Structure 1
């Protein structure tokens, strides 16, 4: 933001935002909810059996489980669970055997 410029708000109706196929894995779709100041937020849905390949976090990552179940580095996450990954940590085959929906915040 430059001098004299006001900070702005970005609003997204997640009910009308389109689902898009993930670039990382089959069976995973995302809704982009907004970006600001080097951070982004998405809704992420895994179909049963979907697996993300092992990947390193270039910045912090925050997930909040809304529905279903996922397994992150051996920890089972169900609705109401939150996961915080520090910069430099790695997800090893993050997966959902039953399917899930979560909110994701990450550095871009």
Structure 2
């Protein structure tokens, strides 16, 4: 029987360069993705999955998050990530967002 493991990954000060919040080393399930706007202004945020071949799939391209507010991007849904896939977050402003990803790792 597999030994599933809960884990989290964090990123602070996400900005225009984009930040890989989590990189999967094996098949896993992303069970939460909380993004907090650490500024006072409502700002757009881009969340994407970067596939192993380098292509991207957008989860949101211009979702706006009000200043000082946290949003669960997955809204209770789950997302399977395969080995070598990443979750990347980008902002239009430097040092705009903090993020916590909750992951169930080593799933079959």
TM-score where L is the length of structure 1: 0.40
Bigger strand share: 2
Greater relative contact order, per chain length (Cα 8 Å cut-off, separation 6+)? 2
Larger radius of gyration: 1
